Structure 1
Amino acid sequence: MADFSHLQDFLQPVSKAFLNDDLEYDAFQIGGVIDAYEEDHHPDLDAADVVLLGVGEERGSATGKTGTQGPDAIRREFFRLYNWHRDIKLADVGNLRSGAFLADAYAAMKTVVSELVQANKTVIILGGSHDLTYPQYKAYAAHQLIIEATVADALIDLQEESSLRSERFLMDILTEQPNYLRHYNHLGFQSYFVHPRMLETLDKLRFDCYRLGRIRENIEEAEPVLRHSDMFSLDINIIRHTDAPANHLSPNGFSGEEACSLTRYAGMSSRLSSFGIYGYRPEKDKEQLTARQIAQMMWYFMDGRSVKNKEALLEDRDSFWEFHIAFSDIETVFLKSKRTGRWWMQLPDQEFVPCAYNDYLLASNNEMPERWLRHQERM
């Protein structure tokens, strides 16, 4: 990874001076510590833990535009926040060059993300329209990595007949052969926007879909889902309009604080290596409130990364409380981390999978947790 030059052809530098109106960043601000690709400076990617990549590509959506305004608007707000996570080294490789065609942008993004993931970096992608989830997935397929993917979106983009990639990219991901998707989760869909047949199709494939209301009732339900994911794609349409004015889809959705909880859970995952934030359109924003919301979600992702670094390995049983439970004639073990309070449950094949406290309560009352049943069905 030491050689940055082979990625340079796909990227254009940023200017921290421009983003901060020619003012110096404080040494404790993110802009003061992030190692960014600028005209006269290449970042040291070997030292980086988390890498930012701007992809302002919207040609797969109704706007048909491409540019760097969206990623740079988010950077402007993110760089001004104070850095509380000194154990995590941040780098920024700049913005993806647009290319002549949408396919060129997909290919370039796939190449850059796959290189970074292969080098054990966590990539935060500042989009761009939601169809960029496709090249995010292809970055793993390029190395034949079989993954679990989670998408947070008020819609389910399975409209096969649509001419817009942003409305049908999930069909491409789910049906492409060879396929490298072990499992798919969908968080926060709003039922009145989704055709019932779409949910039936996903359920037949044993994929898990969680209604907005179900997650809002207990936001911690999303944590085991994200802990078991390799890639996370989030459309800002999941956030209600009042908290993210650039979202014009719905007045309903997650609150800003709930969206920050989701990204913190994503950051806590030891498996997750790419996190895409899509659907931000700066021309629809109001006083940069949505850009600030996204910047704070990124800050909480970093906070989750800091927690992840403190978690023990499951093999270190002294760092966990162990609970032996029998339910429905099945004997199993639940583990609870002494450091983070997170839970795991053991499946019949002896594998431990992430779960929630509620799963332990159900098993204690001789009830089969739905999460257990879904894992068994997939096996």
Structure 2
Amino acid sequence: MTFNFLSPVSDEILAHNELLSPQALGKKLKIHSNKNGIPDLDNVKIAIIGVLENRNDVNYMGSDVQLDTIRKVFYDLFPGNWHTTMADLGDIRKGDSVEDTYFALRTTISILLEKKIIPVILGGSQDLTYPNYRAYDGILPMVNIVNVDSNFDLGDSALPIKNNSYLGKIILEQPYNLFNYSTVGYQTYFNSQEEIDLMEKLHFEAYRLGEVSKSINLVEPVMRDAHIVSVDLKSVKASELSSKQKYSPNGLDGKEICAIARYAGISNKVSSFGVYEYQHSKEDHITAMLVAQILWYFIEGVNCRVNEDPLNDDINYQKFNVLIDDDELIFYKSIKTGRWWIEIPFLSELNNKLKKHTLLPCMHEDYKEATQGKIPERWYKAYRKNSF
């Protein structure tokens, strides 16, 4: 299997990299270059891919995607106490059509997933989440997506796919692999009531900006259950970004978006991570620096992963049974990390999507509320989806 669709990192960035400290991130990466070609991917855990595609942006006016500034500032950073080997595989350029770009990205991600390498995608418009999702066909039977965004991106599935309407295509196109979709940081005034009602009807999860800002740790269990994480930079408030990138005066701040990225990295399930809607700006590099720091925190999280499986480990977990009316809720707490899960039962009489008892990540607050007679909303939604 080869990576025929990837163009090497530019000579300008490689020349800049030569001037960096030996301890800088750029010196720790395996880099796709004109001179040496695709690097050896043995032992590589994380691979960065740029995608220079934005033609399905609803505001597309012929501008090109440029990612060199992100690479330059990312290479300048210093790694943490990391043990993972990383690569920068360069860019997927625009194909003759957007569908050609989708095919190239889907194929590339599929190869990386089969090699147990986490692709980190830099875009480009957020509709690239669609080929990212389709790359899991034949790899996972059911996929959970978390979208960090001010919008749900549902749109009208009858219309051509755009960066604000790719979810409809994900939901309605066969094969039906989507199990759960969560939006983190949505802002109500950017979403119609019909879309909000549809998210509720589909038992998808939606966390308002105010909820997330008030308690950032509620994002952790959502990320712990995700396979794909897609970050739209429009979720970040304008004061944190360069003038070309500004979208809304309200949004996540720099610390919050980096904390969310770290939660995504810590999750053992997250196997692909993308940051989209980057708008190159010559007047300052602040957005590029923020994207570089988002990547840094995601990689930091990956390096802090702890494998945990409460269902197959009786020693390192505490089990709690809570009765609410006719339901028995079973919680597990990790002695090692303090993380919580709640069990979703297998309904043998139904042809459901979950084929065995499965665990849903949750918070200590969910357990405390259950002891007071309140069923956790995440459990209810997962149970309902399991009942279809």
The aligned residue for residue 89 of structure 1 is 85
| Aligned counterpart in structure 2 of residue 277 of structure 1, from 250, 271, 275 | 275
The aligned residue for residue 333 of structure 1 is 330
Contact 1:239 1:247 in 2 (8 A): no
Match of 1:165, SS state, is: coil
After superposition, give the CA deviation of every residue in 1:160-199 in whole Å (9 maximum; x if it has no partner).
Answer: 2766611221221111123211111111111111110011
Contact 2:360 2:379 in 1 (8 A): no
AA aligned opposite 1:238: S
- CA–CA distance in structure 2, aligned partners of residues 329 and 12 of structure 1: 59
- CA–CA distance in structure 2, aligned partners of residues 27 and 324 of structure 1: 53
The aligned residue for residue 187 of structure 1 is 184
AA aligned opposite 1:247: Q
Pairing of 1:186-265 with structure 2 (within 5 A): 186-245=183-242, 246-265=244-263
| Aligned counterpart in structure 2 of residue 367 of structure 1, from 374, 377, 385 | 374
Q: Which runs of 5+ in 2 are unaligned?
A: 347-356
- CA–CA distance in structure 1, aligned partners of residues 320 and 260 of structure 2: 27
1:231–1:66 Cα change, 3 Å: farther
Query: What is the RMSD computed on CA atoms of the aligned residues?
Result: 2.1
1:38–1:19 Cα change, 3 Å: closer
Contact 1:337 1:343 in 2 (8 A): yes
Task: Measure how far apart 1:22 and its partner are.
Answer: 5.9
The aligned residue for residue 115 of structure 2 is 119
- CA–CA distance in structure 2, aligned partners of residues 10 and 312 of structure 1: 36
Contact 2:65 2:279 in 1 (8 A): no
Task: Measure how far apart 1:333 and its partner are.
Answer: 3.0
TM-score (norm. length: structure 1): 0.91
Contact 1:66 1:98 in 2 (8 A): no
- CA–CA distance in structure 1, aligned partners of residues 224 and 88 of structure 2: 25
TM-score (norm. length: structure 2): 0.89
1:286–1:267 Cα change, 3 Å: farther
- CA–CA distance in structure 2, aligned partners of residues 180 and 351 of structure 1: 17
| Aligned counterpart in structure 2 of residue 29 of structure 1, from 6, 21, 24 | 24
The aligned residue for residue 13 of structure 1 is 8
Match of 2:163, SS state, is: helix
Contact 2:16 2:72 in 1 (8 A): no
- CA–CA distance in structure 2, aligned partners of residues 162 and 255 of structure 1: 33
After superposition, give the CA deviation of every residue in 1:116-172 in whole Å (9 maximum; x if it has no partner).
Answer: 112211110000011111111111136564211111111222332766611221221
AA aligned opposite 1:186: T
Contact 1:363 1:369 in 2 (8 A): yes
After superposition, give the CA deviation of every residue in 1:75-100 in whole Å (9 maximum; x if it has no partner).
Answer: 11111111114311111111013221
Contact 2:54 2:65 in 1 (8 A): no
| Aligned counterpart in structure 2 of residue 355 of structure 1, from 345, 362, 373 | 362
Match of 2:239, SS state, is: coil
Contact 2:53 2:93 in 1 (8 A): no
Pairing of 1:58-97 with structure 2 (within 5 A): 58-61=54-57, 62-65=59-62, 67=64, 69=66, 71-97=67-93
1:316–1:163 Cα change, 3 Å: closer
Seq. identity, %: 33
- CA–CA distance in structure 1, aligned partners of residues 304 and 373 of structure 2: 32
Contact 1:110 1:135 in 2 (8 A): yes
1:67–1:89 Cα change, 3 Å: farther
The aligned residue for residue 349 of structure 2 is none
AA aligned opposite 1:291: A
- In the alignment, does 2:136 pair up with 1:129? no
- CA–CA distance in structure 2, aligned partners of residues 142 and 330 of structure 1: 35
Match of 1:83, SS state, is: coil
- CA–CA distance in structure 2, aligned partners of residues 26 and 64 of structure 1: 39
Contact 2:17 2:27 in 1 (8 A): no
- CA–CA distance in structure 1, aligned partners of residues 294 and 192 of structure 2: 30
AA aligned opposite 1:125: I
The aligned residue for residue 50 of structure 1 is 46
- CA–CA distance in structure 1, aligned partners of residues 293 and 337 of structure 2: 22
Contact 2:161 2:169 in 1 (8 A): no
The aligned residue for residue 350 of structure 2 is none
Contact 2:50 2:121 in 1 (8 A): yes
Contact 1:263 1:301 in 2 (8 A): yes
Say how many residue pairs are matched: 371
- CA–CA distance in structure 1, aligned partners of residues 131 and 152 of structure 2: 18
- CA–CA distance in structure 2, aligned partners of residues 192 and 140 of structure 1: 33
Contact 1:256 1:293 in 2 (8 A): yes
Pairing of 1:152-163 with structure 2 (within 5 A): 152-160=148-156
The aligned residue for residue 167 of structure 1 is 164
